[in-house]
Amino acid sequence: MNRKLILDIVMGSVIPILILNNLNEQLGTGTTYVVAALVPVAWIFVDLCFITKRFNFITSYIGTFAIMRGLLAFWFVDGVQFALKDSMGSIFTVLVFGGSIIIHKPIIYYFLMQGMNPESSQQEQALKALLKEPRVYRTLVKGTKLLVIVEVLIGVANFLFNLQIVVADFGTVMFNQQVAQVNAITRIVLTIPEFTGVGVAAMSIRRAMFYHLPKENNKDHDESDFWDLLKLRESQKAAELISPPTKDSEEIQ
């Protein structure tokens, strides 16, 4: 487990839970709740501005998500409204990912374009061409749909967990402790299906991408650099345009 992931877990889950359980007397219940809710938000902005220092599609998405969470921290509710509020992250994801499918621009495409980080305009254009292959595009759509379904299930489960566990009134020590309890459960349990869905989608997309990539010197795809294979694919496409197959060679094939 790398240091960045450990920091994400500590700042996103461990510290807020400790604050909710231990600082109610010192800060007051309302202030304690707000501070605990804003710690993960502040960490995201510190990460984006001082650690990652990259502003692109992915960081814009994460930043928007963080702003939403920050604003929701000041919506002081309990009961059903709190359960709905705590599930807003899933609702946001479903709307963004689902909307991208409706407009025929699966959001995974943009995550891939940013995440794979092409280093030149040639690599960027070659990657775009690969992702537009019908087989790959269909997999991008299916992967986005899968993540929408997973996020819907996570949102429903999160709502029910909160509804069942957080039953105290807002502004009480018991409320903060119950929020800490539900966070300790959901931050672990609900992360498993999320990572599983991402993993399944990633494997399917990878398989579809390599289907359209040539092999280098009869080596397995795993033994070659992805960008080298993509460059080889572009070279072969250019060669075919210059010297298209003859009728005799087509008959032999």
- φ and ψ of 146, to 5 deg: -60, -45
Dihedral angle sign, alpha carbons of residues 52, 58, 60, 64: negative
> How confident is the model at residue 253, as a pLDDT?
38
Percent of the chain with pLDDT over 70: 95
pLDDT band at 138 (very low <50, low <70, confident <90, very high): very high
> How confident is the model at residue 56, as a pLDDT?
79
Tokens of 83: 């359960």
Distance, CA of 43 to CA of 70 (rounded, Å) = 11
Mean pLDDT of 192-218: 94
Distance, CA of 205 to CA of 195 (rounded, Å) = 15
**DSSP classification of residue 118:** -
- Pick from 40-49, 102-111, 121-130, 135-144: least confident: 40-49
Mean pLDDT of 75-79: 97
* Locus of tokens 């994801």: 93
pLDDT band at 1 (very low <50, low <70, confident <90, very high): low
Q: What is the mean pLDDT of the chain?
A: 91
> How confident is the model at residue 245, as a pLDDT?
57
> How confident is the model at residue 244, as a pLDDT?
58
Mean pLDDT of 113-127: 93
Tokens of 144: 């986005």
> How confident is the model at residue 55, as a pLDDT?
74
CB 19 within 8 A of CB 37: no
- CA nearest 34: which of 48, 16, 47? 16
What is the per-residue pLDDT across 7-58, written as a single tens digit (0 to 9) for each? 888 999 999 999 999 999 999 999 999 999 999 999 998 988 888 777 778 8
pLDDT band at 184 (very low <50, low <70, confident <90, very high): very high
Mean pLDDT of 136-157: 98
> How confident is the model at residue 246, as a pLDDT?
56
User: Is the pLDDT at 201 greater than 90, yes or no?
Assistant: yes
What is the per-residue pLDDT across 235-246, written as a single tens digit (0 to 9) for each? 998 888 876 555
> How confident is the model at residue 252, as a pLDDT?
35
Q: HEC string of 186-215?
A: HHHHCHHHHHHHHHHHHHHHHHHHHHCCCC
Distance, CA of 161 to CA of 188 (rounded, Å) = 13
Tokens of 56: 């692109």
Q: Which long-range contacts (CB under 8 A, 24 or more apart) does 195-203 make?
A: 196/150, 197/146, 197/147, 197/149, 197/150, 197/151, 198/147, 200/143, 200/146, 201/108, 201/142, 201/143, 201/144, 201/146, 201/147, 202/143
CB 96 within 8 A of CB 58: no
> How confident is the model at residue 248, as a pLDDT?
46
